[in-house]
Amino acid sequence: MNPLYASMPTTIFEKMSGLARETGSINLGQGFPDSNGPADVVAAAAAALTDASNQYPPMAGLAVLRQAVAGHYRHHQQIALDADREVIITSGATEALAASILALVSPGDTVLLFQPLYDAYLPLVLRAGGIPRFVRLEPPHWRLTAEALDAAFTPDVRLAILNNPLNPTASMFSAEELALLADRVVRNDAVVICDEVWEHVVFDGRRHVPLMALPGMRDRTVKIGSGGKIFSLTGWKVGWMCAAPRLAEPLSRAHQFLTFTTAPNLQAAVAHGLGKDDGYFTAMRADFARSRDRLVQGLGEAGYVTLPSAGTYFVPIDLAASGIMLDDAGFCDRLVRDHGVAAIPVSAFYAENPVTSVVRLCFAKRDETLDPAIGRLADARRAMAR
């Protein structure tokens, strides 16, 4: 048994979702909508299942999906990609992360990680033999500063992994922050894996800025996207890696020995979805923003103080500002066991020196899920606040 994996705890998502099932709680922890995705995209998957081939598709992905990814980013983000040489379809964004890290990290390489960080990053870096170095972000704004980057970016840094918009904080890095990062990457001849799965789930008129589009970053960025996040079909696990040929070549070699390929009917359906007009994406964002605002309003009326939610499916609560002196793990445990709502402690996303005063709630739910959850959260605050 490998001691690296034997010593790792169960993922916080599995733990809290398991407690939600065990206690019959409302699950606002794990980030998935309680809808079934766009009907036309689901129908396209069903049609492809019966009308198209169910045999191995090409290792890099169906041509129709690779072309759709390239066309989508050309239209929405003004990035020109060669569909044949710079787009690789993966079995979800997590497989894209695994392939990228295994391809680009050699034993002894220093890898820069920004915490709080998605929970797959660190174990994958360790498995590849990388040496993690952490940049700590703090509430309420989770800003990336020149001082922090200068302290972290020593010449031995070969790779950085960035998540933007950032799960679990629901924040977005500004164009100025991204420019600071790009400058250090170029100066240090490094590469960035940029996990941009939430790129379309942004609110209040914001627009996602892809790191790849910044000066000097076109040949230094692996851009990772997810059909599951774009279309609220998280169980489909259809993702992609976009990179210049010098990076895409080793990425494809790692990918072929992980999953090799992805269900062809789901690929065809995501290709259909990526071609939807701008109105779909505008309406999708507006619908999620309405749910976010409903949850934020209800929490505010219950006495909670929330942090800004610029993107993703999540709203963070500042426990201390809400009058709750418990740490986030203790609050989440009492919340699910005594009050019937599952949430996620943000400290679970730190490898060291965690922030322990913030919890994350998922708002990507129907009103009939959110409203009773808000009532239970109000009861919880009355019981736990001082």
Cα–Cα distance for residue pair 130/209, rounded to 1 Å: 28
pLDDT for position 19: 83
Residue 222: CB partners within 8 Å, gap ≥ 6?
100, 104, 191, 192, 193, 194, 241, 242, 243, 247, 251
Cα–Cα distance for residue pair 252/247, rounded to 1 Å: 9
Whether the per-residue pLDDT at 288 is higher than 50: the answer is yes
Q: What are the Cα distances from residue 22, in Å, to 19, 333, 372?
A: 5, 13, 18
pLDDT for position 30: 84
Residue 59: CB partners within 8 Å, gap ≥ 6?
252, 255, 256, 260, 261
pLDDT for position 13: 79
DSSP letter, residue 170: T
pLDDT for position 1: 47
pLDDT for position 20: 82
Alpha helices by DSSP H, 7-120: 12-23, 39-51, 63-77, 92-104
CA within 13 Å, CB half, 127: 17
Q: What number is the average pLDDT over the span 275-281?
A: 97
Candidates 22, 45, 20, 40; CA nearest to 30 is 20
Count of CB atoms within 10 A of residue 71's CB? Answer: 15
CA 298 to chain centre: 25
The single residue listed with the structure tokens 């949430």 is 343
pLDDT in tens, 229-240: 999 999 999 999
pLDDT for position 2: 58
Whether the per-residue pLDDT at 303 is higher than 70: the answer is yes
Q: What number is the average pLDDT over the span 224-229?
A: 97
Q: What number is the average pLDDT over the span 239-261?
A: 97
Candidates 116, 178, 208, 166; CA nearest to 312 is 166
pLDDT for position 195: 98
User: What is the four-CA torsion angle of 364, 241, 266, 123, rounded to 10 degrees?
Assistant: -60
Tokens for 253? 């070699």
Whether the per-residue pLDDT at 337 is higher than 90: the answer is yes
Q: Which residues of 181-199 are buried (b: 16+ CB within 10 A; e: fewer)?
A: bbbbbeebebbbbbbbbbb
Cα–Cα distance for residue pair 272/131, rounded to 1 Å: 40
pLDDT for position 107: 97
pLDDT for position 32: 85
Q: What number is the average pLDDT over the span 219-243?
A: 97
CB of 64 within 8 A of CB of 52?
A: no
Residue 160: CB partners within 8 Å, gap ≥ 6?
111, 112, 113, 114, 181, 185, 190, 191, 192, 193
pLDDT in tens, 19-65: 889 999 999 998 889 889 999 999 999 999 999 999 999 999 999 99
Biggest alpha carbon distance in the chain? Answer: 62
pLDDT in tens, 86-110: 999 999 999 999 999 999 999 999 9
Cα–Cα distance for residue pair 228/32, rounded to 1 Å: 10
Tokens for 288? 């999620």
CB of 267 within 8 A of CB of 65?
A: yes
